[in-house]
Structure formats: structure tokens, C-alpha cells
Amino acid sequence: VSCAKRAKTPNSELLFLPFRVLLAELEAHQDAWPFLSPVKLKSVPGYRKVIKKPMDFFTIKEKLINNMYLNQENFIIDVNLVFDNCQKFNEDDSEIGQAGHRMKRFFDKRWTELLRK
Ligand SMILES: Cc1ncccc1N[C@@H](C)c1cnc2ccsc2c1
């Protein structure tokens, strides 16, 4: 994902370190498999029509690396977009739907632990 390269100020690296750690934990989670890369719009009928803003962990990592998150809020919004899209498109009792709920619970827990420290 290329975008306007922002000046890489040292503190921005430090500032976003917790997000990179948190994202690495999400990617390593056993239930992360449906969310690791963008949904192939051609191979999932209806996805393009239903989901207005697709998002996935790989895209989030690219945006982090390219300094495209100007604040914490935008990072959280993208992570929650992954889970909201999942709940919108997948039945709660489906394989992917269940994985999405487990990943969201895991993220919410780690995010509050990160903030509380
Ligand atoms: C997150 C999500 N929501 C709705 C549809 C797909 C997906 N994930 C993609 C990777 C995907 C695409 N294809 C398959 C086939 C079996 S699981 C799986 C997962």
C-alpha cells in the first residue's frame, strides 16, 4: 500500500510500537486465518456489494509500516472494521463468524491491558 510517505520521526516509530506488537499478536492467533489477507472480491460472491470498506491484518500492517496512521484512533477503527465486516457478512455460528468473535474478544482484552499499563 503506497501512500504519501510521512516524515519518519523517531518518536512515531516508538509511538506505534505497541500497535505493531498488538498486530503481531493478532496475526499469530490461531483464529486469525480468515483475516490475514484481503478477501478476494472475485472469489467471494456478494462480498464487494455488502462490505463497503474491506479491511484485513495485512493491509493494517502495510499502513502501520508506511506511517499512514496519524493517531491511535485510526488504527483502532481499522481493526474494528475487520471484525464488523466479519459480523456483517458471516453468520455468527459459521466457522469464520466464530473466528471473528474470538478474535474481537482477544483484541479487546489485549487493547485494554495495553492501555491500563
Ligand atoms: C473474513 C472473510 N469474510 C467473509 C468471507 C471470507 C473471508 N475471509 C477470506 C480470507 C476467506 C476466503 N475464502 C474462504 C474459504 C473458506 S474460509 C475462507 C476465508
Q: How many CB atoms lie within 10 A of CB 89?
A: 18
Give residue 4's pLDDT. 60
Q: Between the CA of residue 107 and those of 28, 38, 47, 76, 100, what are the distances in Å?
A: 12, 19, 24, 10, 10
φ/ψ bin of 52: left (φ > 0), alpha (ψ from -120 to 50), beta (otherwise): alpha
Give residue 5's pLDDT. 59
| ipTM of the complex as predicted | 0.92
- For ligand 1, mutation pick of 29, 36, 44 (most atoms within 8 Å of CB): 44
Give residue 16's pLDDT. 77
For ligand 1, whether the C-beta of 96 sits within 6 Å is yes
Give residue 3's pLDDT. 59
φ/ψ bin of 46: left (φ > 0), alpha (ψ from -120 to 50), beta (otherwise): left
pLDDT in tens, the chain (117 residues): 555 655 556 566 676 788 999 999 999 999 999 999 999 999 999 999 999 999 999 999 999 999 899 888 999 999 999 999 999 999 999 999 999 999 999 999 998 888 776
